[in-house]
Amino acid sequence: MSDEDQSQPKKDSFAALRYKDFRSYLGMRFFFTFAYQMQTTVLGFYIYELTHSKVAIALIGLSEAIPAVGIALYGGYIADKYEKRKMLLLILTGVFISSLVMFLATLKSMSGYIHIGWIVPILYAMIFCNGVARAFYGPATFTVYAHSIPREVYPNASTWSSSSWQVASILGPFAGGFIYAFSGGITGNFVVILLFLAITLILIYRLREYPPVFVPKENIWVSLREGINFVFKNKMMVGAMSLDLFSVFFGGVVALLPVFALDILHVGSQGLGVMRMASSLGAALTMITMVRFSPMGNPWRNLLIAVTGFGVCIIGFGLSKTFYLSLLFLFGQGAFDSVSVIIRGTLMQLLTPDHMRGRVSAVNSMFIGSSNEIGDFESGIAAKLLGTIPAVLFGGSMTLLIVTITYFKTKNLLPLKVSDIHTAEVAEEKPATA
């Protein structure tokens, strides 16, 4: 069967993988996520080990979120306007250089060439640069994903794409924790990170060119306002993004895992890697199951159920006093989160017209793409003010409160099926076409 054969059976679990560009996109996403998750894990542990400050952990997320949110709309505008493969090559080259700088800085500090007091500011500066890159990376990949496969394959592709991300999120932190422990420091991790970023660049080069489908005639502010207005006029789209923003903002515990690993559960860097892995393992196994059993039958109902389960697991993790029970709750958190990721990803693709994918993705990244980093900042500050465990319990409780409010505000969306969403979109576009 050829790569571009579009006559796939409806129940074909491998439908999206039959397209060459999607396979390259999937590989790119896997290796970049592996490197990114490994780097995030070991940087948090390394900085906490140097400073023993929860605020220092909070500043990691803030350093990345400020540029990622601040220039996200401009990133979406550029992604709509320019060729995507070249754009991704430039973005990932920048990420590679920032990781190389971090590697050299930590290496030189171990040799005594750089004073240890300069290391944390250098790391924060490079994390900030990665945040700038993310503002452009998200909209560009969103567009490549959409054009690498036909529309009818989006639900299947969303499962594969999210599964690739989750598998990399399992292996990255797990490998990071063990390499950190057995190599005696962070520099061994950066060798693997740089290797995987190089592979990512090769896979991007294998993509075909994606010329712009949108050439703006109006000024940038008018163009950006068009994308913002589109999102905020769509009740389902803005509801899904808001639900994710506030649940992750309050319910995220990832930033505090180094504190649990060192000070509460006393399991060290290896335990940190296993805890990061547990959440991603739950997500990956759930996503593999969803290749056959899609959650898109009643997407809005299933989204609310998934976020409720996410909040319950956060509370359970905060109350747990044993390592293995904590792993079980992290596994459940990842499993429930994976359901919501697939539902939100599919809804975004179905509801977004081709000519504004970059701008809509930019608005989405302001809600979802940086919610983890902003949530990390909130978690660190809350832990400083309330204590680590009370901060986790507060976050899980707030997540449940947000789901409850969303349920009462969006009851009319509960019976909708994915076919209803597609029909509604077509009905909205026809008058504009005429």
**Biggest CA pair distance of the chain:** 69
pLDDT, tens only, 15-55: 888 888 888 889 999 999 999 888 988 888 888 888 878 77
Q: Residue 199's pLDDT is what?
A: 95
Query: Which is more confident, 161 or 12?
Result: 161
Between residues 200 and 276, the one the model is more confident about: 200
Q: What is the pLDDT of residue 214?
A: 60
Q: Which domains does the chain have, with CATH numbers?
A: 16-433 (1.20.1250.20)
Length of the chain counted residue by residue: 434
Task: Please give the model's pTM, rounded to 2 decimal places.
Answer: 0.64
Question: What pLDDT score does 256 carry?
Answer: 77
Instruction: Among 207-216, 302-311, 333-342, 419-428, name the one with the lowest average pLDDT.
Output: 419-428
Q: Which residue has the tokens 């990956």?
A: 284
pLDDT of 374 > 70? The answer is no
Give the list of residues 6+ apart from residue 137 with CB closer than 8 angstroms, or none: 75, 88, 91, 92, 95
Please, what is the Cα angle at 184 between 182 and 185, to 5 degrees? 115
Going by pLDDT thresholds of 50, 70 and 90, the confidence category of residue 230 is confident
Weakest mean pLDDT among 193-197, 200-204, 254-258: 254-258
Q: Tell me the residue type at 24.
A: S
Q: What is the dihedral of CA 130, 165, 318, 324, to 10 degrees?
A: -130
